Amino acid sequence: MAESFDAVDIIRTKRDHGVLSAEQIAWTIDAYTRGVIAEEQMSALNMAILLNGMNRAEIAQWTAAMIASGERMDFSALRPVAGGPVNSSGSKPTADKHSTGGVGDKITLPLAPLVAVFGVAVPQLSGRGLGHTGGTLDKLEAIPGWRAALSNDEMMRQLQDVGAVICAAGSGLAPADKRLYALRDVTGTVEAIPLIASSIMSKKIAEGTGSLVLDVKVGSGAFMKDVTQARELAETMVALGTDAGVKTVALLTDMSTPLGLTAGNAIEVEESVEVLAGGGPEDVVELTVRLAEEMLEAAGVHGADPAAALKDGRAMDAWNRMIEAQGGDPRATLPVAKESETIYAPADGVLVGLDALSVGVAAWRLGAGRARKEDQVQAGAGVRMHAKPGAVVRAGEPLMTLLTDTPDRFERAKEALAEAVVIAPEGSRPDHQLIIDRIA
């Protein structure tokens, strides 16, 4: 059977700043999935897209083609809770959140059960960490018995009974993206905004959520290092979601310094539980509450007070049910690293800088992250921070504690942190704004 198009012609079109038609894009994704387009040809096309971009229609068509490569989930059978919100089709409303990744970003853990308190279903499909950014599933797997893999039926039951689920995405959602993502990773084309946006949004739209809040990170520990790039990515994803009928909002948030006081797996679960108990670091609480407010508004729930649900125990109750539904024991003792080493403040003053990338790399080198997808992580490894920017510190006071099961990792972790800390004279103030902008 003759093919409708030729891969070389499509590469040339984009190389020469041309616009690909909907038919060309649909064929490209399908042909690549079938193996008709070779890896080197798709690599060349990805590079042309990185260098020359795509217009809004092309990005939407590329996203639609990736969605069409697999299944789409449908949550219309979810029944609303008694007295709770109802969407336009008479079912339980759904809302999801996606973060572009950072250091210490454990927000999904307290956020999903918090939103579920208000009768909104949260189908949170998450991933594992790679490199210096942590993975939500790796964190939750530090809880004894908890499992990430659920069937679609199990997911639906949990959304109906508990209201929130955090699990691995099934292989049927946008399978073309899995191949494209792996190829981009090894060909220097990860940074292409059209490809990032379509990768994220194809999975989120196929997931079937009714509304979506995007947390687009900006700074050294984020994928996007400057605000201009991050805003372009956020605007592109909001447009894709809107065009697909998903109410979509994006927040640009700072990732120049880690979120909270922990970067690891078990220690981030521990900190998340502190937030659910009404405590925890101010920045984690602030971002959790703000994202919950955005998700609830997008789902049609107005005037809710998620901060109160953290304080009065409702969110903790939802967390316990969510963990138990996936085989975990929310009251079990979490793994603890066998070895620790402390880093001390070198001088008196105000901590004005704590570089997120450096902390993330250190946690990764200690065993909290992986260099390849097949690598194992240490549940107890990571970095526990004792001060955040703005704190007054004294020479010799603990700044960070490094945690690992393998002490020969300490040296390289400390190398990553060599330039991480900036201490200024007392009276100095850090230049730090957690929530930078909102795009809708």
Within-domain flag for 24? no
- Do residues 349 and 385 both lie within one domain? yes
Instruction: Calculate the CA 422 to chain-centre distance.
Output: 27
- Of 177, 215, 254, 283, which is the active-site residue? 177
Task: Find the CATH number of the domain harbouring 360.
Answer: 3.90.1170.30
- Do residues 224 and 361 both lie within one domain? no
- Do residues 163 and 285 both lie within one domain? yes
* pLDDT value for 126: 87
Q: Is 340 a catalytic residue?
A: no
Instruction: Calculate the CA 182 to chain-centre distance.
Output: 18
- Do residues 241 and 132 both lie within one domain? yes
Count, residues in the chain: 440
pLDDT at 104 over 70: yes
Tell me what the mean pLDDT of segment 123-142 comes to: 85
Q: Is 226 a catalytic residue?
A: no
Tell me what the mean pLDDT of segment 160-171 comes to: 92
* pLDDT value for 131: 67
- Of 92, 139, 184, 247, which is the active-site residue? 184
| pLDDT tier, 396 (very low <50, low <70, confident <90, very high otherwise) | very high
Neighbours of 182 (CB within 10 A): 12
Tell me what the mean pLDDT of segment 382-388 comes to: 97
Within-domain flag for 163? yes
Q: Looking at 20-29, 83-92, 328-337, 413-422, which range is the least confident one?
A: 83-92
Q: Which of 278, 294, 325 is the last residue of a domain?
A: 325
- Do residues 241 and 363 both lie within one domain? no
For residues 155 and 123, the answer to whether their CB atoms sit within 8 Å is yes
Mean pLDDT score of the chain, rounded to an integer?
A: 94
- Of 92, 98, 290, 365, which is the active-site residue? 98
pLDDT at 373 over 70: no
Tell me what the mean pLDDT of segment 365-370 comes to: 90
In sequence order, the 6+-apart residues with CB closer than 8 A to the CB of 186 are none
Tell me what the mean pLDDT of segment 402-410 comes to: 97
- Of 199, 211, 220, 256, which is the active-site residue? 199
* pLDDT value for 368: 93
375: nearest Cα among 385, 364, 386: 364
- C-alpha 48/C-alpha 12 separation (Å) is 9
- Do residues 101 and 244 both lie within one domain? yes
Q: Is 184 a catalytic residue?
A: yes
- Report the domain count for the chain: 2
- Do residues 321 and 368 both lie within one domain? no
Instruction: Calculate the CA 135 to chain-centre distance.
Output: 8
Q: Is the dihedral of CA 437, 107, 122, 317 positive or negative?
A: negative
Task: Find the CATH number of the domain harbouring 133.
Answer: 3.40.1030.10
The residue segments making up the domain with residue 157 are 95-171+203-325
- Do residues 109 and 162 both lie within one domain? yes
pLDDT at 181 over 90: no
Q: Which of 325, 348, 379 is the last residue of a domain?
A: 325
- C-alpha 311/C-alpha 309 separation (Å) is 5
pTM: 0.93
Within-domain flag for 15? no
- Do residues 240 and 385 both lie within one domain? no
Q: Which of 281, 302, 325 is the last residue of a domain?
A: 325
Tell me what the mean pLDDT of segment 33-45 comes to: 94
Residues pairing with 398 in the sheet: 344
- Do residues 233 and 101 both lie within one domain? yes
262: nearest Cα among 248, 278, 275, 277: 275
63: nearest Cα among 250, 216, 243, 224: 243
| pLDDT tier, 302 (very low <50, low <70, confident <90, very high otherwise) | very high
Q: Looking at 196-205, 213-222, 224-233, 426-435, which range is the least confident one?
A: 426-435
Pairing relationship of beta strands 339-344 and 164-168 according to DSSP bridges: unpaired
pLDDT at 42 over 80: yes
- C-alpha 424/C-alpha 351 separation (Å) is 6
Joined tokens for residue 194 = 């059209």
- Do residues 317 and 348 both lie within one domain? no
**Looking at this protein, which amino acid is placed at residue 286?**
E
- Of 203, 217, 247, 290, which is the active-site residue? 203
